[in-house]
Structure 1
């Protein structure tokens, strides 16, 4: 999927230990191949450890500590899932505030699997149509979202998917949303 659709775009990938490895690595690879600059942003210093389906996975270097990250420095946000990662992030006020800033400023966000837990905590689920890992359905509905069982959903600057099997549909939808949302804001800023 190599292209230049996202040239010059800077994407924050918010994670901590326990993110589902493929839900970070595959979208990141697609974003990088489309020309984006991606950075792992984490409340942890040094490195973060992935979860690989049923056991611990690889470790990855943190590009930007959350305490030093500024949402204004990024054009878009990716929230990978895994059960451990978003459960920890939603309990950290600084992580929730970081994610909330993207919604507050209308920047595009992509989330997969359990990632929408952070969206709920940021107060950004209400009035949106989205999908997630099925066990989040009640949480999302209680937060005012319309939950649907589809491989990919795009609504109001947010693209969501359910699980790793959805990544082949998720990645192109993320690139399309990020390219269109960020392209419009850049055109407006140039006027």
Structure 2
């Protein structure tokens, strides 16, 4: 999936505007292009690990927006279910990013994360660059929650590499630290 362009989709999202309030909006692959985006797949609304992850992501949303990144959470639930969850869950009520309904499984299939025979998406994260190309992906098992601070770090690295051709970010790279310029001179010396 790395290096591939996102495929066409149309989905209705619940877009929160305040705790317990929001609107339904249509989102397409065309809306995503031109900006950095995160597609944050999770199995289902009203579950266990999912609300903790979405709350964690919501806590990083301002930082992500400041980096020019839009977040789209995605499950195979409907936008109506997302609205009800936002209105009733303390953890979900703070979300301000669009919550895409993928009941037709188009987006989950496009990203290759639909669990065959179950109708649920895997716990997966994709970072898409402004050209619509997947630059980062992470898929974890059902019981393993993700860390939004680490996602922010990975996006900063992806943005740095895009803005600085010929440079790469080593393990545990943090913004402002040294990067590498791959060359024959580095072979066997790292």
Q: In proportion to residue count, which structure has more helix?
A: 1
TM-score normalised over the length of structure 1: 0.39
TM-score normalised over the length of structure 2: 0.39
Greater Rg, structure 1 or structure 2?
Answer: 2
